[in-house]
């Protein structure tokens, strides 16, 4: 009986990981369906872009430490802006907004890691041929404007 429960538990974890590991939508699809003037949309965009820059930083860390550091700085600036918007738009306490934004970025970052590994297995690239490169392109436009 314990063995059956263990097998069931592992199966549920694997199923949950696969569901969790893929975004249900690309960033472009999200932006097409949501009003960019809305604070909630802006906060999500900032958090997701922060996560994709953190992911990109980790991918290139060994091959290009300078760009990796730059990507981390961009990631941190984006998450800071998300926190600012949460404080202003949602009247959140700074500490609560920071904690929530960091947790959200961590979850998004983990999705990028999982999907990047899957993409690597398919075509030996973490980005090319996947929504991750499309997300990065959108986020790079966001950071160009600032």
Query: For residue 13, is pLDDT > 90?
Result: no
Q: What are the backbone dihedrals phi and psi of residue 25, each rounded to the nearest 5 degrees, phi first?
A: -160, 150
pLDDT at 30: 94
CB-hemisphere CA count at 13 Å for 135? Answer: 29
pTM: 0.81
Contact status, residue 61 vs residue 53, Cβ threshold 8 Å: no
pLDDT in tens, 46-86: 999 999 999 999 999 999 999 999 999 999 999 999 999 99
pLDDT at 18: 38
Contact status, residue 105 vs residue 79, Cβ threshold 8 Å: yes
pLDDT in tens, 14-29: 333 333 345 668 899 9
Query: For residue 1, is pLDDT > 50?
Result: no
pLDDT at 129: 85
pLDDT in tens, 83-132: 999 999 999 999 999 999 999 999 999 999 999 999 999 999 998 888 99
Show Cβ contacts of residue 135 under 8 Å, excluding neighbours closer than 6 positions: 26, 27, 48, 49, 52
- Cα–Cα nearest to 47, from 77, 89, 91: 77
pLDDT at 6: 34
- Cα–Cα nearest to 101, from 143, 54, 46, 61: 46
């Amino acid at each position: 009986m314990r063995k059956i429960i263990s097998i069931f538990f592992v199966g549920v974890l694997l199923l949950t990981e696969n569901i969790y590991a893929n975004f249900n939508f690309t960033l472009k699809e999200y932006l097409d369906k949501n009003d960019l003037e809305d604070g909630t949309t802006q906060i999500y965009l900032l958090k997701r872009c922060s996560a994709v820059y953190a992911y990109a930083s980790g991918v290139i860390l060994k091959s290009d430490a300078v760009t990796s550091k730059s990507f981390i700085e961009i990631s941190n600036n984006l998450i800071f802006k998300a926190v600012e918007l949460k404080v202003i738009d949602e009247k959140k306490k700074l500490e609560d907004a920071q904690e929530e934004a960091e947790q959200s970025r961590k979850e998004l970052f983990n999705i990028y890691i999982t999907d990047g590994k899957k993409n690597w297995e398919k075509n030996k690239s973490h980005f090319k041929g996947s929504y991750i490169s499309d997300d990065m392109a959108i986020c790079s436009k966001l950071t160009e404007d600032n």
